[in-house]
Amino acid sequence: MKQYEYSYSEKKLGYSLEGEDIIFRVWAPGRETVTLALYDDPLDIRRTLHYMIPDEDKVFEITLAKDEVTPYYTYILDHEFEVTDPYSTAVSLNSLRSAIVDMENLKPPGWEEHKLPGAIAETDAIIYEMHIKDFTGHKNSGAINKGKYLGVIEPGTTHLGFATGLDHLKELGITHVHLMPVYDFLTVDENPDRFNDDSNYNWGYDPEHYNVPEGSYSTDPSDPGCRIYELRQMIQKLHEEGFKVIVDVVYNHTYRGRNSNFNLLAPEYYYRTRTDGSYSDGSGCGNELATERPMVRKFILDSLMYWVNEFKIDGFRFDLMALIDIETVRKAVNILRLANESIFIYGEPWTAGMTTLSDKLTTTKGKQQGLSFAFLNDNFRNAIKGDSNGEGRGFVHGNCDMKRETEIGLAGSIFYDKGRIGFGIAPNETINYINSHDNLIIYDKMKKIFSQSDESFIVRLNKLAFGILFVSQGIPFIHSGNEFLRSKNMLDNTYNSSFNVNALNWSLKSRNNGFYNFFKDLIQLRKKHPEFRLKTGDKIRESLKFFDVEREGCNCIGYTIKLDNKNVEEGKYTLVAINGHHESCLITLSMVRNHIEKQYGLTEDHLCIIEILNMDGLVTSKNSRGELDPHGVEIPGYSIMVFSLAERCVK
């Protein structure tokens, strides 16, 4: 590998349609000969061979007339190995052979001119993570195209009178749909007759062809163009309904290692190795891509731009982003921002094992500062719920040790003060979440810790956890089904569990409709109140002030946010009170007045307290208790409450 470790070519790789010709190019520095093999049928053994010519950078190339080219192709290396094209944009069933398609002919009506959702500030986003098959695959989803791209966008689907699928997303009020892997992955059989096999399931974090949509989610996976057309249909409809679309990308490892098309084309180049020649395994999946090498970096940048240009993607979530070197991340952010100034970029700031990539090159917390991308915030997650899979407790379970870390999260994980130091400089650098697809889903985590408690208590803890999420500065992220208490049967890593475990059971929406309505209210609270969506670290430090709530124990958090309202009846401050203990705590008005005078330098002789949110949801004019006790308010155990502090109350 040494002789081509620093090789680089600017040439466009893959195939290109140029007038009446097709140009094939592949970088194969580890090979003496490369032969293009063309097939009429993906399972055919008959083929025509065309020898490719290398340039000085070992980019092998051939130009053929379109009428000479058949639909499927591979590359034969040194008359020994046959591989698909890493730059494939279409493949046959189960990724056996690369396919040639004309992307111009695979555009749904209105694709080019369809209206994209307008730009919004990142802290105004509410991200909803979903797996395509999970979302509508269950028998009660009401969808016709269950578990497919098209199933996601079917209008009017219901179960027991409650909206499912697309209409559910619209009703819920989220802004961004985060799609778990929709590129081509290997661990699911794409044969349609196996789609409903309970064991034929995977999340998809095992990439094979990065630029090809996954075929099992299409209605005809044997047609290489169908998956492209239907994924575009889905994205277009989501855009038209006002949702931005984020895709999960896994540029840290591949499913295959030494037998991958990458490694056979350029042995030992695409992967990091240890001194003994074995693969570095910071991914926990057997290998990791050497993103710092020029042609690996080029592939990643080309791939990202392909998804933006051909699928109008609005954002990317980088799996195990720490394994992608920081220089590649910087370059990716720069080219993506040039293409779309408002594109969303975030990732995981950790590895899944030891890596040979030096610490100074890993993309970890702190290195994102000022670089216009965000990290999934495991500090926030752990502060709220404790450890991911065990019985370790978080703030919502009464763990006093997590109070300060919870306050850091509430303040957007910035450097708030000397006692509350986060990893960011602005709230748009933190993706706050309770759980994602990984580990125990939060409902199961609550059940594990309080296994003897009744259901009403488990529901209350979930309300408290998500209440904290939606009043925290930063960007909230939820996993599909969190909104109606989804369970995964107490399994903590369901990436290849049965579909029966992973499918979104829509009957939970009716069963837990009270919780669902509370969850919707949390989203509306955040949307209606910009004080929970502050844009800068300076504004947070200036406006948000914590105060001590006196009680036995330490699990009450109180803070105010000073508002910019001019109308005294609209409220001058928002007060948030969070109780992570079974006993109630009291917040007196004198305590609040003293706090305001100390923190803001203002004297407030006349303040009335009006409920905005309690554990039943948003307080409306119909269920409002009006001005509360002028002496103060009691915060029940395991509760979150939000109040308006106004100079004069509306009668």
**pLDDT at site 621:** 66
Q: What's the one-letter identity of residue 26? A: V
CA-to-CA dists, residue 229 to 98, 146, 484, 573, 616, angstroms:
17, 17, 32, 50, 44
- The CATH superfamily holding the domain 2-102 is Immunoglobulins (2.60.40.10)
Q: How confident is the model at residue 622 (pLDDT cuts 50, 70, 90)?
A: low
Domain boundaries of the chain, sorted by first residue = 2-102, 122-532, 544-646
User: Is 212 in a helix, a strand, or coil?
Assistant: strand
pLDDT tops 90 at residue 4: no
Residue 565: burial class (beta carbons within 10 Å; 0-12, 13-18, 19+):
middle
Q: What per-residue string of b and e applies to 288-308 under the rule 16 or more CB within 10 Å gives b?
A: bbbbbbebbbbbbbbbbebbb
DSSP secondary structure letters along 273-327: B-TTSPBP-TTSSS--B-TTSHHHHHHHHHHHHHHHHHH---EEEETTGGGS-HH
Strand blocks (E) in 367-474: 374-376, 415-417, 420-421, 430-433
C-alpha 640/C-alpha 581 separation (Å) is 11
Q: Do 504 and 481 meet the contact criterion of CB atoms below 8 Å apart?
A: yes
49 token code pair: 């061979």
Q: Render pLDDT for 83-134 as a digit per residue (tens, 0 to 9).
A: 999 999 999 999 999 999 999 999 999 999 999 999 999 999 999 999 999 9
What are the Cα distances from residue 397, in Å, to 386, 401, 479, 576? 8, 11, 21, 19
Q: What percent of the chain is predicted at pLDDT more than 90?
A: 91
> What's the whole-number mean pLDDT along residues 233-242?
98
Residues 481, 485, 491, 493, CA torsion sign: positive
Whole-model pTM: value is: 0.97
The answer to whether residue 632 scores a pLDDT higher than 70 is yes
Return the residue matching tokens 């488990």.
458
Amino acid found at 411: A
Q: Which CATH architecture has domain 122-532?
A: Alpha-Beta Barrel (3.20)
Residue 81 sits at φ, ψ, to 5 deg, of -115, 145
What percent of the chain is modeled with pLDDT above 70? 96
CATH class of 544-646: mainly beta
Contact (CB, 8 A) for 634 and 551: no
What is the average pLDDT across 524-536? Answer: 98
How far lies 105's CA from each of 210, 220, 519, 588, in Å? 21, 17, 42, 67
Question: Is residue 463 within 8 Å of 452, Cβ to Cβ?
Answer: no
Do 122-532 and 544-646 have matching folds? Answer: no
Amino acid identity of residue 33, one-letter, is T
Q: Which residues are annotated as catalytic?
A: 319, 348
Taken in order 441, 446, 448, 451, the sign of the CA dihedral is negative
Model confidence pLDDT, tens digit, residues 244-275: 999 999 999 999 999 999 999 999 999 999 99
pLDDT at 647: 80
Query: Which pair of tokens denotes residue 17?
Result: 């349609």
As given in the structure block, the two tokens for residue 64 are 């053929």
- What confidence score (pLDDT) does residue 606 get? 81
Distance between CA atoms of residues 327 and 325, nearest Å: 6
pLDDT digits (tens, 9 = 90+) for 578-619: 999 999 999 988 899 999 999 999 998 888 899 999 999 999
